[in-house]
Structure 1
């Protein structure tokens, strides 16, 4: 499976929330996520696991929420998660783990972190 490429723009010190609906194909039926046991998205300084970890978002830490039958993932980085960050560009992927042990990468891309203006 080839992950979907989704580059994003986040604002430093703001709540950054993105909703993704996973589908079998463009405009096709949604993917049933009932068998997903873990979801994790890491933001790193390089496009591999050796890069500095900037942020770790997961189902376990409450930063990712799943509505299984709708195929919906809501990923939330709170304002405090990015408020003191100095990085401006991070690479990420979103990996789902299923009850049978399969791990699939659904999304990948670059997040650009822009400075806020209002304090």
Structure 2
């Protein structure tokens, strides 16, 4: 049985570590990260964590985490530019070919 983590700092560190595993040119969703981590508060907690990545070493590629329909939530254009630099097409704020580019941590990472 997995040990339940209740310390927010430890949870955020785990989220950051998982996001760092997303390959360039791929994307995942807040919910997929939450599910892989077993977080009951789910996607919202992952979204909150993404707001605290500034200054993290190594950097956290927050641009690779989008909502469940492939939309860039709260993007000021920076995330789209970073994704496009990695070869990911974004049209009208949504990742083109989202299903083909989707990276599922449950399939990609051994737990």
Identify which of structures 1 and 2 has the higher relative contact order when contacts are C-alpha pairs closer than 8 Å and 6+ apart.
1
Larger strand proportion of the pair? 1
TM > 0.5: no
Larger helix proportion of the pair? 2
